[in-house]
A and B are shown apart, each in its own frame.
Chain A
Amino acid sequence: MEVSRELNNQANEYISHYPNDQKRSASLPLLHLLQQEYGHINEESVNWVAEKLGIEPIHVLELVTFYPGFRQTAPGKYHIRVCRTLSCAMAGCYETMEKFCEVAGIDRSKVSHHNPIAVSEDGKFSIEFAECLASCGTGPVCLIGDEFHESVKADNVAEIIEKYD
């Protein structure tokens, strides 16, 4: 896999944060870089990280399959993560989730533990439940890409979705 020079430089910078004999520590930072660039992590990305760090691909893959923060399937143009955990649920996050799916045209009936992401037919939005986003006082909350939204009641979902073009 060819990556941009910029990405490669950034990867080298991350690797320099750890002792010379502990390159493996840069696994998560490198995976984040690749996910940021390509939207999700595929086999090529896993192999690239493994080669870059001088470790076996399985040691990268086992991270991708463990951490919920890494996606193995392509998300939509905008990826929505709705907090599912207690305070947000008490504030109505399940209703928020239903509304997001309705407005963005997403069918969540096929999602499962190993395949948590559902994408809209037009590929514009994808959505998943996330566990506690640590803003329990302003629930329901969600992340759209890297942007954080607070007090996302079902009633204001449509208005938020509109901002994403």
Chain B
Amino acid sequence: MAAPKYIKGKEPHKSEYRMIFRNVDRRGWDTSIKSYIADGGYKDLKKALKMKPQEVTDEVKTSGLRGRGGAGFPTGVKWGFIPPNNKKPVYLICNCDESEPGTFKDRYIVHQDPHQLIEGMLISCYAVGAKVAYIYIREEFPEGAKILEDAIEEARKKNFLGKKILGGKFNCEIYVHRGAGAYICGEETGLIESLEGKRPYPRIKPPYFPAALGLYMCPTIVNNVESLCNVKHIIAMGGQKYAKIGTPRNTGTRILCVSGDVIRPGYFEVEVGKITMGELINDVCGGLRKGRKLKGVIPGGSSAKVLRAGEKYTIGTGESERTIGINEIPMDFDTLAACGSMAGSGGVIVMDDSRDMTWILNNINTFYAHESCGQCTPCREGSLWMKKITDRMVSGSGVPSDLKTLTSVGDNIAGRTICAFGEACAWPTQSFVAKFPEDFKKHTSRRNAGKELNPESKAAAAGLKR
């Protein structure tokens, strides 16, 4: 396999470690199976089919791969939750509902390298014993759905998929299932309900994992696109070798998606934990615009708690305990959690000092108010209530008591809902208000009364009148 060359102007940054995104923006590359096979594609499926399913799962466990969708749960361990005495069919679902604001990695895998995902899925199906798999793709990727369907047909013609795959005993079908524009379908039990043709109301836990009871009340494994692609590479190089990429407990690569106030926003695949927030923003993304200073960063999709420039974080325990600033945070699961936020889905949103955090929070609140499924009262009412409060702040009708109300509403949602959406919609409010009180106080004085400042405040004001 020759080292790939990339389209001019889209070359990977020198700090990148391209594995999953190896073929993204690659010169002369297309989505056909011909391209993929010429590059050594489906070799890892052949290799996996010569192993025992349990051996494949063991390699994934050894690799230490943690789910790339948001929660960071070990993939191999998740697979192990299928009841050992199970007699029902097992399903595998690829969660391609990529919808956490700030995240845009799965888009490029699906649109530019669909066979990598299909190969990863087939290996995973073999490991968990699934004969049918679904790719739940968000409705907003119409072209992506078409590309995947075409790729599945190509793979079927080559007998990588279908009956008696490659002359062996393994049968497996993959179908594309399009969602219809609801964020909540990214929650795995909501996704399952949606796939069953119902409203995507997340299921009450326990069972905590659909591996016990999932689609059609059968054991079901739901994995993110990026996680499933990783499986292919784990089989290619072996779990132990994979575990050497990245840092201990945070193995492999991670695709970081950077947007907001940086010179070069984009996607960057790096070894987990081998790059710091400062290097990511200032080196990889070319820093902030001229004359601007960093104000805050949302490190893992819009539901992750915001980090404020100038904050200090204490990480590590015992002798390794140290205090670091925002620029020194290694981009891994554990450190970001220790800093009070999360690595989430890898969506990094950078905000400079030109931003008023009230606006930022209002935009986020509008999103969550729109996307709450409405099943649990605290979330359904609370998310809308928080939006209404920030709506009135940005449209010049804030009152001094708003800040306190806002925090108390947020505090009363988190932990009181069936699914993690409750936390997802409360964390932005809780963190933004606590960390940037001065921005919010500007909007709770009578001075701004009745002012509509820009198109967004006009929209917010109109929303209040109804």
Contacts and interface: CB of A to CB of B under 8 A. Distances in A.
Interface string A94-125: 11011000000000010011000000000000
Interface of B: 98-104, 106-107, 134, 138-143, 175, 177-183, 194-200, 216, 257-261, 265-267, 302, 347, 349, 351, 355, 360, 363-364, 366-367, 370-371, 373, 454-456, 459, 462, 466
Contacts of B182: 66-69
A137 B188 CA distance: 26
B364 A86 contact: yes
A131 B107 contact: no
Given A89-B363, A131-B367, A131-B370, A137 B455 contact: no
Nearest to B265: A137
A28 to B, nearest CB: 6
A48 interface: no
A149 to B, nearest CB: 12
A32 B139 contact: yes
A150 to B, nearest CB: 11
B156 to A, nearest CB: 13
A146 B142 contact: yes
Nearest to A23: B197
A134 to B, nearest CB: 5
A130 B302 contact: no
A136 B102 contact: yes
Nearest to A24: B197
Contacts of B134: 17
Nearest to A25: B197
B371 A131 contact: yes
A29 B139 CA distance: 10
12 contacts: A17-B177, A25-B195, A66-B182, A67-B179, A69-B139, A69-B140, A85-B367, A90-B260, A90-B351, A90-B355, A94-B456, A132-B100
A63 to B, nearest CB: 7
A86 B455 contact: no
A70 B199 CA distance: 13
Contacts of A138: 265
A29 B145 CA distance: 12
B179 A87 contact: no
A133 interface: yes
B292 to A, nearest CB: 13
A77 to B, nearest CB: 17
A27 interface: yes
Interface string A129-154: 01111111111000100101000000
B216 A28 contact: no
Contacts of B197: 22, 24-28, 53, 55, 59, 63
A62 interface: yes
Contact of B104 (A27, A109, A137, A146): A137
A28 B177 contact: yes
Contact of A94 (B98, B178, B302, B459): B459
B257 A69 contact: no
B455 A94 contact: yes
B140 A130 contact: yes
Contacts of B194: 28
Interface in A48-62: 53, 55, 59, 62
A22 B101 contact: no
A62 B139 CA distance: 18
Contacts of B455: 94-95, 97-98
Nearest to A87: B259
Contacts of B195: 25
Contacts of A29: 177-178
Contacts of B466: 112
Give the top 7 A-B pairs by smallest Cβ distance, nearest first. A69-B181, A69-B180, A67-B180, A24-B197, A136-B259, A27-B197, A87-B259
Given A24-B196, A85-B363, A134-B99, A68 B181 contact: yes
Nearest to A30: B197
Given A86-B102, A86-B363, A87-B101, A137 B267 contact: yes
B436 to A, nearest CB: 15
A137 to B, nearest CB: 4
Nearest to A66: B199
